[in-house]
Chains A and B, each alone.
Chain A
Amino acid sequence: MKILVTVKEVATVEDEFEIEGTEIADQYLGADLNEWDDYAVEEAVQLQEAGVADEVVTVTIGPEDCEQTIRQALAKGADRAVRVWDDSLDGVDLLDVDAKTEILRAVVEEEDPDLVLTGVQAGDDSFGATGVSLAADIGYEWGAVVNHLEHEFDGDVASVRRELEGGVEELTEIELPAVLTIQTGINEPRYASLRGIRQAQRKELDVQTLADLGVDESAVESALELTDMYEPESESDVTVWEGSADETAAELGELLRDKGVAP
C-alpha cells in the first residue's frame, strides 16, 4: 500500500501582535508543522512499520522557506516529499479549498496512492474541507475526523472511528482508495531522532511547479477573497485580580469560600 500524506507549514501567532492590511505583521509570526498533519504523518509511518504500507510520500503546497518544516515529516519516517510551488502563488493571501484541491489532484494522479491522509484542518485558516473536497474530486472514498484506524485492513476496506460531538464515535467501514482526515489524539506523534534528522537531509524532496503538474494557473484562482482582518471585539466583562501570585490566589480562595464550595 502506498500512502500520501498532505502536510502544511502553518503560521503561528504570538500572544501580542499587529495586523497590517489583511495579514498579521511578519515579526509576530512563527512557523510550524500543522499539528493535525503531525498525527497524520505518524499514522502513516506506523502503518509502514506494521508492514501495511510500502511507501509514505508527503506532499505540501508551499514556498522554499517551508522545506525545513517539511523535512520534519521526513525525519519522522516518511520516505520522500513533494513540494508544489509556483511564482503565480507568490503573494496570494488565501488559497481556497478549490485551489488546493486542483493542485493536490494533480499530485494524486501522479502518485496514485491507495490511501491519502490529511489533517482534519490547518491551525491557521481552519477550513477543514480540503481532504473531503479532494476525495470527491478524484473519485476516492473518504472519512472526515478519523480518530482511530485499524492497522489490519480487510481487503480493500479500512475500519475507522469518526469522532462525533459529545463523546460519541461512529464505527465506519470505508472502501479504498480513500482519503481520511486525521484528528489529533489518534496516536502519539514521535519526536524525530537525531539519526532521523540526518537521514531526512538526504531524502528526496521533489519540487514541482504548476506547469510540471499540468495545472493551469487559472485553476488556482480563489473564488474566495480575503477582504478584512481584525481582532475580534472582546465581549469580556471579566474582573481581573491584580497583584502577586499569592495575592491573586488569596482572592480566588475568598471567592471559593463565598460561593460555599471550598472545604
Chain B
Amino acid sequence: MTDILAVTDHRRGELRDSSYELITAGRQLADETGGDLHLAVISGTVDEFAEKVNREGVDAIHTVSHGEEFNHDVYTQAITQLYDELAPQYVLTPNSVNGLDYAPAVANRLGLPVVTDTVDLATSGETLTATREMYGGKVETTNELDGEAVVTIREAEWPAAEGTGDASVEAFDADIDEDAVGSTVNGFEEVGGGDVDISEADVLVSVGRGIEEEENLDIIRDLADALDATVSSSRPIVDNGWLPKNRQVGQSGKVVTPDVYIAIGISGAVQHVAGMKGSDTIVAINTDPNAPIMDIADYAIHNDLFDVVPALTEEFQ
C-alpha cells in the first residue's frame, strides 16, 4: 500500500491540463511513500491520451476503453476495480466539475475517506496531511488522516509534469455493468456567446458583489463608456441575472488577458482568479485590504467603490 493511482481528465477529445498537474502531485506523493505512480485513462481515445500523459515520473498507465465521453458511473466502476487490482494508498483526482462527480462516489464504494480541493499534500508514514482552504480562502487549514484515501487536488496548484516517460501502458479489462449506468450524456453546449467577447477587450471594467444592487451597475457602465472599455463581472452578478453569461470572468466563464483589468468590488475567489490572473496589469478597488484579490493585484485602492468609480469616470469625461 504505497502506490498512487491518479485519474486523468479529458473532455471532448482533449486532455485537460489537470491531467499533467496530477502527475506532478502523484509523483511527489509516490516519492514520499516509496511507491509507484499509476495513471488511469478512462474512455475516449485512450491510446492517444496514454501516449500524451506518458511523462517523466509515471510508472504505469492503465487504459479503460469504454465510450467516448466522461460518464460518472463508468468512471466509478472502472476506478473501484482498478483499486482492487492495484491496492494503492491514495487515489488522486482533479477537483474539477467531473472530478467531483465521481471521486466522492468512488470513496464511498471503497469505504474510504475523501478529502477534496486540496492545495498541498504531504505524507509521514501512514498519515496524510492535506492543506485546504475554508471560508472562501480567508483561512487555510491542515487536515490529517490515516490510511488510504481518495484525494482531489485543486486545478493549477501543482505545475504540469513535463518530459517523456517510459511507463508501461496496459489495457485494463474493466467489467462495466451497463445496468448500473443510470445517466446518459447527450451532448454539450457552449454558453456565453453573443454580442460581446470579453476575452478580446484591452481594458475590462469588472464588477463584483460589492456593487450591492442592480441599479448601481450604472456607475460601472458609465466608467466603461468613459474609458472606452468593456464591462465584465464575477459570478454573483451573472447568477443574479444582472449581466448576461458572456460577461462572466472565471473558471465557468471566460478566461481573459486584457492589458488592464480593473476589479471593482470583487473579492477574488479562486474560481474568479483562474479566469483573469493572466491580465497584464490588475487594479483592485475593494475596501477589504485582506481580500484574496490583493494577492494578485498590482495596484489597489481601499476607498469605497461608490466614491472612486464616479471620480474616475469624471476624469475621462
- Taken residue by residue from 283 to 317, chain B's Cβ proximity to chain A (1 for < 8 Å, 0 otherwise) reads as 11000111100111111111110011101101110
The smallest beta-carbon distance between B235 and chain A, in angstroms, is 7
- Taken residue by residue from 133 to 157, chain B's Cβ proximity to chain A (1 for < 8 Å, 0 otherwise) reads as 1111111111111110100000000
Contact B105 A136 (CB under 8 A): yes
The smallest beta-carbon distance between B214 and chain A, in angstroms, is 12
If the complex has contacts A15-B288, A143-B101, A145-B100, are A185 and B114 also in contact, measured as CB distance less than 8 A? Answer: no
Q: How far is the CA of A239 from the CA of B141 in the complex (A)?
A: 28
- Taken residue by residue from 187 to 217, chain A's Cβ proximity to chain B (1 for < 8 Å, 0 otherwise) reads as 0100000000000000000000000000000
Contact of A163 among B97, B103, B144, B304 (CB under 8 A): B97
Contact A142 B299 (CB under 8 A): no
The smallest beta-carbon distance between A152 and chain B, in angstroms, is 16
Question: Counting CB contacts under 8 A, is A218 at the interface?
Answer: no
Contact B142 A252 (CB under 8 A): no
- Taken residue by residue from 78 to 117, chain B's Cβ proximity to chain A (1 for < 8 Å, 0 otherwise) reads as 0000000000000000011110111111011100011111
Chain A residues, CB < 8 A from B12: 168
Stretch with Cβ within 8 A of A (4 or more), from B20-28, B45-53, B254-262: B254-262
Contact of B299 among A24, A141, A234, A238 (CB under 8 A): A238
Contact of B295 among A127, A161, A185, A235 (CB under 8 A): A235
Contact B295 A248 (CB under 8 A): no
Contact A96 B113 (CB under 8 A): yes
Q: State the majority secondary structure of interface residues on B.
A: mixed
Q: How far is the CA of A145 from the CA of B239 in the complex (A)?
A: 14
Chain B residues, CB < 8 A from A143: 101, 183
Contact A136 B182 (CB under 8 A): no
Contact A19 B139 (CB under 8 A): yes
If the complex has contacts A133-B108, A167-B253, A231-B138, are A259 and B116 also in contact, measured as CB distance less than 8 A? Answer: no
Q: For chains A and B in complex, what number of residue pairs have CB atoms within 8 angstroms? A: 266
Chain B residues, CB < 8 A from A239: 298-300
The smallest beta-carbon distance between A174 and chain B, in angstroms, is 5
Q: How far is the CA of A168 from the CA of B251 in the complex (A)?
A: 10
Question: Counting CB contacts under 8 A, is A226 at the interface?
Answer: yes
Chain B residues, CB < 8 A from A235: 295
Contact A132 B104 (CB under 8 A): yes
Interface size class of B (residues with CB under 8 A): 35 or more
Stretch with Cβ within 8 A of A (4 or more), from B29-37, B161-169, B184-192: B184-192
Stretch with Cβ within 8 A of B (4 or more), from A60-68, A76-84, A118-126: A118-126
The smallest beta-carbon distance between A88 and chain B, in angstroms, is 19
Question: Counting CB contacts under 8 A, is A153 at the interface?
Answer: no
Contact B144 A145 (CB under 8 A): no
Question: Counting CB contacts under 8 A, is B241 at the interface?
Answer: yes
Interface size class of A (residues with CB under 8 A): 35 or more
Chain A residues, CB < 8 A from B97: 144-145, 162-165
If the complex has contacts A165-B252, A171-B186, are A132 and B191 also in contact, measured as CB distance less than 8 A? Answer: no
- Identify the interface centre among A163, A167, A231, A261: most chain B CB within 10 Å of its CB: A167
Chain A residues, CB < 8 A from B136: 123, 126
Contact A263 B316 (CB under 8 A): yes
The smallest beta-carbon distance between A111 and chain B, in angstroms, is 20
Q: How far is the CA of A24 from the CA of B138 in the complex (A)?
A: 10
Contact of B116 among A15, A123, A127, A136 (CB under 8 A): A127
3 nearest A-B residue pairs (beta carbon): A245-B307, A185-B239, A249-B311
6 more contacts with CB within 8 A, not counting A130-B104, A172-B185, A249-B308, are A98-B114, A170-B188, A228-B141, A249-B309, A249-B315, A255-B260
Pairs across A and B, CB under 8 Å, 30 listed: A13-B139, A15-B290, A15-B291, A96-B113, A96-B115, A126-B132, A128-B95, A128-B116, A133-B114, A163-B97, A164-B98, A167-B191, A167-B192, A171-B188, A185-B238, A185-B239, A227-B143, A227-B144, A229-B141, A230-B140, A231-B290, A235-B295, A238-B297, A245-B307, A248-B308, A255-B299, A261-B259, A262-B227, A262-B316, A263-B227
* A residues apposed to B, CB below 8 Å: 11-13, 15-17, 19, 22, 24, 94, 96-98, 101, 123-133, 135-137, 141-145, 161-175, 178, 184-185, 188, 223-232, 234-236, 238-241, 244-246, 248-253, 255-256, 259, 261-263
